Structure formats: structure tokens, C-alpha cells
Amino acid sequence: MPELPEVETTLRGIQPYLQDATITDIRVRNPSLRWPVPVRPLQKLCDEKISACERRAKYILIHTDRGTIMLHLGMSGSLRVLSVDQPAGKHDHLDIELNQQHILRLNDPRRFGCCLLLKPPVAEHKLLANLGPEPLTDAFNGDILFRRSRGRRVAVKNLIMDGQVVVGVGNIYASEALFLAGVRPTLTAGRLSRARYQRLAECIKLVLANAIKAGGTTLNDFTQADGSPGYFKQELFVYGRAGEGCLRCSTTIKAKTIGQRSSFYCPACQSF
């Protein structure tokens, strides 16, 4: 489910409750996620103060002096901040109690998400060490994309979804960015020009920034930390619109499976 804009939206929603809060309890109801939730080590964080929280790629990192909680929402995860007395429901895997007042609750029906405890240096953790640059920073640009694409025979859509090239671009925004850039998603990554990658990098930044502004994309189950949906769905040009008319030229949007993921494009607008 969540791509970078949804994770960023979630972070912004929970941040005010987390920053400087003391963890007063951690309750794990169902430790079964992508990897087992380390219940005992996590509970040692009780009475610790949260010094900072941040997003890296699609991970949310909650720092304390005794370790960093790393959360990932997988395909179907969501985080909500609730008052302590809210009863738990189906797929509510764990609560992090804050100041005996609120709880940060992780719900994840499909269990592709995770909750791990990291020791410093956090950046050297296996899951973080090889990640590419953040797309919304200057560390990511067309030159990076161009360089990392040389010799690659995968489709350009797969390249921009490769977390070692650039993080946070998931299946929705990959299709959207390629549409904005006018680039056909099926093209071989290694054959695109530097100029095309300059444009593509700009479009990736644009589509992600705009999606964050709209509070993310709600298709089925994504909600912000307060339970409200994201509104970027109204701004999607191609994702999920196979058979419908292109919003720019009315040509019928096509769907195609690329690298086992459904992809959408306008055959007329995306001719490069």
C-alpha cells in the first residue's frame, strides 16, 4: 500500500505525539509480521524518551537512547494515534503507549510490514545500508538516474522502483512519474538519454511532492494517522485507469504487466 507520500503523511501525523514523549508501555498482540516482532527487547524501551522520529525510504524510525524502533507498513499497514482506552481490533499488531495518554497503533492485515529494534549505527543496518538517495533531496537528480541506468537491461519502470537506485517510488507513482515525463515504462533503462533522465527525475520529485501535499493516495485502506483518507487519487493520470481516456489526449490508457507489477501508460503521450 503505502509508498513514500503515504509514509511521509503518516510520519507528519504521528510526529507531534511522538516527539519528546516517554514510552510508557509496549503491547504486542500479534508478533507475526514479515519478521517476528522482538517483544522482549522492545519492552526494554519502556520509560525511554523518544528523542526524534524520521522517515528513511518507506521506513519510520523512532529513536531513543536505548535503540531505534523501525517500522514498515508493507502493503496494507497503517499507523494511528489513539487515546489509550481505544479497544484493539482485528490485525492490530502492537501499541506503543505514549505518556500513558496516547497509543501509536500498528494495524497490518497482510503482515508484510515489520517492527524491528535497531542498535546504532542505525544506517549500517542491513535493511538501510544499501538504499539509494531520498527522491526529494538534492542527492537525487537526473545525473544519478542516468549513471545508475547504464548497462541496465530492465524496463525503466523497474529501474525507478529499485530502492538501491532511488527510494520510495512504488507502483502508483512510478506509473504517474513516467506519464508526466512522457516516457514509456517498458523502455530499456540503459538506452534512455541523459536528458530523458533529467526530465524523469524532475517528474518523480513533482509527483511525490504533490502527493504529499494531498495527504497521499487512498485506494482501499490507506488512512492518515487521524484516520482520514488521502486525496491524491483524484490527481492520478494513469494508475488504475486502463481502458479509460487519457486526461491529456483522450487516447485509451493501456495496462501492461512489467516485472510482475501492473503498469499503466498512455500510448500517445508516452512515446519516448
Contacting positions for DNA (CB under 7 A): 1-3, 6, 32, 34, 57-58, 72, 74-76, 90-91, 109-112, 126-127, 151-154, 158, 163, 170-172, 189-190, 216-222, 230, 259-262
Q: How far is the CB of 136 from DNA (least distance, A)?
A: 16
- 3 as an active site residue: the answer is yes
Shortest separation between residue 180's beta carbon and DNA, angstroms: 17
C-alpha cell at 64: 531513543
Active site residue 58: yes
Residue placing its CB nearer to DNA in the complex, 75 or 206? 75
Residue with smaller CB distance to DNA, 27 or 125:
125
* Residue number with CB closer to DNA (203 or 236): 236
Of the candidates 2, 5, 133, 135, the residue annotated as catalytic is 2
CB within 8 Å of 187: residues ≥ 6 apart: 155, 156, 272
Closest approach, Cβ 65 to DNA, in A, equals 26
Residue 116: which H helix or E strand, with range?
strand 114-118
Let me know: does 35 contact 114? Beta carbons within 8 Å.
yes
Cell numbers that stand for 84 in this block: 489509550
Say whether 8 is catalytic: no
Nearest approach in angstroms of CB 243 to DNA is 13
Q: Give min distance, CB of 144 to DNA, in A.
A: 14
> What type of residue sits at position 247?
L
C-alpha pair distances (Å), 68 with each of 57, 64, 117: 16, 6, 6
Which one, 250 or 262, has the nearer CB to DNA?
262
> Considering only CA atoms, which of 132, 159, 138 is closest in space to residue 57?
132
Which candidate in 5, 55, 58, 199 is catalytic? 58
Q: How far is CA 109 from CA 12, 93, 97, 154, 239, in A?
A: 23, 9, 21, 32, 23
Which lies closer to DNA via its Cβ, residue 72 or residue 241?
A: 72
C-alpha angle with apex 195: 193 to 199, nearest 5 degrees? 120
In whole angstroms, give the CA distance from residue 238 to residue 236.
6
What is the C-alpha to C-alpha distance for residues 16 and 171, in angstroms, rounded to an integer?
29
CA distances from 105 to 77, 91, 260, 272 (A): 10, 10, 32, 45
**From the candidates 3, 6, 97, 176, which is the catalytic residue?**
3
Catalytic: 261?
yes
Active-site residues, by number, are 2-3, 58, 261
